[in-house]
Structure formats: structure tokens, C-alpha cells
Amino acid sequence: MLCTTVSALAALWMALKYLRAMQIETTELKRYWLKTFHLALCYRGFATSRSVSDSIRCGQAAFYCCAYDVITDWRNFDPSLRLWYENVLTRSVSPKIARLALDLYQDDYRNQLKWDGLSRGAVALEFITRLIGNFGELGGRVDLERLGVLFQIVDDVLDIEDDVCENATNCLRSASRNQYLRTLADFDFRSLSSVLPHANILLLVADRAQHRARQFLEPGALEELYCIPSRPSDEIYQEEPRRIAEEISV
């Protein structure tokens, strides 16, 4: 509980510090605070130690990811905010970690994200674990790219209504959405407990998304959503979804 609190406080402190720089409006404050807070609670689950320093870095990662979403989704890739984001990252994290976020931004801006946008999750998880400092440790126990993709499906399932309203990238708006939903619905999140020992909140969120995915698989459940054709050359889910889910754990 202490480590989770530290992560949340670290994230909220950064959110407060950069509130004005990010041009957060009064009507956006609740959403901004909640997004930062919830990301911090979840990202604490990617830490493998109980150290205070790792907990702080989880909170920092949460803020950087929240800021990314504000700039790309809320501000529609505002150039001045992009420059601010680059300056903050350059001052605060290693060049390699900063490059991950900035290259992802460029792919996002150019509409060149792979796998119906799910590549965001793979890059985000690498960013988070490199910032925490356990990228090598976790990478030796689990396929981080596939795990990042899985958690991006979790995020897309929970955010689908907002993403449709904002015309934002979401894998459920692709022709392959049922495959993505099936991958999430079939995955055994309990298998991650030994790999992510502090992920109680993260796994609760994943469980909620999994329940939703099963509901969405019911005939006609997503008929009202726009369908954006996927690009077959980028499709990583042409393989049988259950096997892909099983391959996430090493």
C-alpha cells in the first residue's frame, strides 16, 4: 500500500507541476487528475521491487504517459506541446528512453502505428520498464512486446466510448476487433502473478476489461462502432488468437 501511495503522489506531483504548461482547462481537471492517478496505480504493478525509488519512477512513467495522451488525443498533436514534451523528456530521462516516446509520437502523428494501433502498448511497456529499471529482468521472464500489446487491448476495451467520440485510435474500430477481443477474453491473467508480484490493481483492471471483452463478443454488441479496415501486412493476429495469448508468457 505504501509503495502504491508513493507512486500516486509522485505522478500527481508532476501533474500539478506541469498543469499550466500543458494548458489544462478547468473542465478537464477532473479527467486529468483521475487519468494520472489511475495510471500510477496500474503502473506500480510493473515494478518488481518494493523500493521507494522504483515506486517514484512508476509515478513518473504514469505522468509521462498521461502527458502523451493529452498532447496527442486532447490537443490533436499541438506542435508547441510536442516541443515542450521533448524538452521535459530530454531533461528528465535517458536519451534512449526519451527516444522511445518521441519516435512513437512521430509514428502516431503520421498514422503509421502498427497492428491497428496496438504497437503503442509494446512501446509504452518498454518505456515504463526501462524507466523503472527492470526492463532486462522482466524481459527475461515474459515477452514484453506481446504483453504490452495485450495491455493495450485492455486499455482500448475500457476506453472505446471515449475513443469513438474523439475519433482516436482504438483496435476495436478495426476489422480485426473480434480477434483482439478473443485474445483478451482467453488470456489467463493469473499466470502473471509470479512475474508481476505487485500487480493486484493492474490485474483487477485487466479482469474488468476481460469481462467487457466477453460481453463485446456477443453478436451485435459492437455494431454501432465504426469499422476501419486493418492492413493485412501489419496484422500480427493472423495466427490463432489463443496460441498468441499463450505465447505472451515465456
The predicted pLDDT at position 57 comes to 97
Could you tell me the residue range of the domain that residue 74 belongs to?
A: 2-247
For the chain, what is the domain count?
Answer: 1
- pLDDT value of residue 230: 42
Helix (H, G, I), strand (E, B) or coil at 83: helix
* pTM, full prediction: 0.88
Determine the Cα–Cα distance for residues 193 and 203; give it in Å rounded to an integer.
9
Phi-psi region of 239 (alpha: psi -120 to 50; beta: other; left: phi over 0): beta
* pLDDT of res. 16: 97
Residue 247: per-residue pLDDT: 52
Cα–Cα distances in Å, from 41 out to 7, 32, 47, 241? 7, 14, 11, 29
Contact 44, 204 (CB under 8 A): no
Torsion of CA 19, 20, 24, 29, to 10 degrees: 50
The pLDDT value given to residue 168:
84
- Note the pLDDT of residue 225: 58
Query: How many whole angstroms separate alpha carbon 62 and alpha carbon 40?
Result: 5
Residue ranges of the chain whose pLDDT lies below 50 = 226, 228-238, 240-242, 244-245, 248-250
